[in-house]
Structures are given as C-alpha cells and as structure tokens.
Amino acid sequence: MSFSNPFQDDIENDASSNHYKDFPEFETLSQAIDNNLHNINNSQLVSMRNLLGQYEKLLHSGNDAVDSESSKVPQEISEVSTKCTESFKKINNLAKELNDYLTRCEDNHEDPDALRYLRQKEGIHVSLIRSSLQQYRRLQQRYSALQKQFVTKIPGNQIEERTVEEQGAGPQQQSIQIEYEPVNAEELEQQTLLIEEREREIQQISQDTQEINDIFSNLQDIIQEQSFQIDTIEENINSYSADARGASDPVGVCAVVSSFF
C-alpha cells in the first residue's frame, strides 16, 4: 500500500511554479487569457443568457403585438453578442501568440521538462476556451431562433392586403383611405424597419458564427501541434536519459550534449 508524500508534492508544485515563472512571456500571455475568459464567462455570457430569458418571455407572453420593449431587448443582446465575439477573437490571438512562443522555445532547446509542463498548461487554456465557445454557440443558436420567431409575429402581410384593397376600391372609398393613410403608412414603416433590423441581426449572428468556427479550427490546430510537440519533448527526454546512461567516456558525453544544440 502506497501513501502520498505531502512534502514531496509541495516540492513538485514549487518546481512547476518555478518552471512557469522562468518564462515571463508565457506567464503574461497566460494571465491575459485567464482575465479575458473570466470576463466572458462571468459577465458577457451571463448577460446574454439573462437577456435571452427576458426575450423569450416577451415572445411567449401571448401578446401578438410587437411593443417597444420586445424590440429593445434584441438590440441589447446583439450588442453583448458583438462584444463577446470580439473578446473571443482577442483570446484567439493570445492563444496563437502563446503557441508560437512555446514553439520558439522548443526550437531554442529550452528546458524540456519545463516546456512539457507549459504545454500541459496551454492545453488547459485551450480546453477552457473551447468550453466557453461551445456555450456561446448554443446561446447564438437560441438567439437566432428567437429572432426568427420575432419576425413571424410582425403582421407584414398587411402591406399586400391593403394594396389589394386600394386597387379594388371605388373613388369614395379611396378618398376615405387617404384620410387614414398617414397613420397606416407610419405603422407599416415601423413594422418594415423592425423586420429589416431583425434580419440584419440574424445576418450578424451568421457572421459571428463563422468567426467562432474559425476560432474552433485554430484551436484544433493548436491541439494537434501541441500533442506532437509533447510527444517530441518526451522522446528527447527519453533519448537523453538513455544516451546519458550509455555515455561512459568524454566523447559520449559530448555527443549527448551536442544533440540538444
């Protein structure tokens, strides 16, 4: 039966921390990713989720009329969604910088143990980013569905109905309609503007979704490269250990050392 050694665990944790702090650029980029993720998860996604709940209640309230409140909420959602997309784009750039930095360190044959640890830390970042992206995509899909539902609640077919009435009306009826035309025209214009606005927001959701898919693709590339680099680091460590054990003369030692440069 084996027992863990708390003292040994503390030593290992301290060693990992020291490895981490020996690479200040990694620490800076890592902290920037953490800060942006915290803002997305605890502010932007929370706000978007709450606004979507309000929007859903308004659309399911049983009131067929589209009021100013139900028109205002999607605008707020669109603003939060835009900010969220921009935040993810920023994180994506940080993740690229982090990966490029570690690749340069590996090319310079930095401490393999430290780099293996940093690659594992990078993997945690990528996993957390992907998790947040998946949450955001689900909220986007929900938002798009509600926007389409909003459009169906606007009686846009009134334009066609009134046009037909005007074409079949007599002179007296036409003169009566002219008296009420300014009011009807204003209502129709408002409805048309609402439809156009929702359609623009639906189009924006589509563009945001494409950008999020591109970020997913980039993260997948990082994961594949990361896996390859970790395997390479471990192979170098194993090779170094084997060569070190077999190096019994100065020439052998020089060969082991030169293999890393």
Instruction: Indicate the domain borders of the chain.
Output: 10-174+194-235
Is the distance from CB of 88 to CB of 131 less than 8 angstroms? no
> What are the tens digits of pLDDT across the range 77-117?
999 999 999 999 999 999 999 999 999 998 988 888 898 89
**Minimum mean pLDDT range among 131-135, 170-174, 198-202, 204-208:** 170-174
CATH class of the domain comprising 10-174+194-235: mainly alpha
Chain center to CA of 223:
16
123-143 tens-digit pLDDT = 999 999 999 999 999 999 999
pTM over 0.75: no
Helix (H, G, I), strand (E, B) or coil at 155: coil
Contact 48, 78 (CB under 8 A): no
259: helix, strand or coil: coil
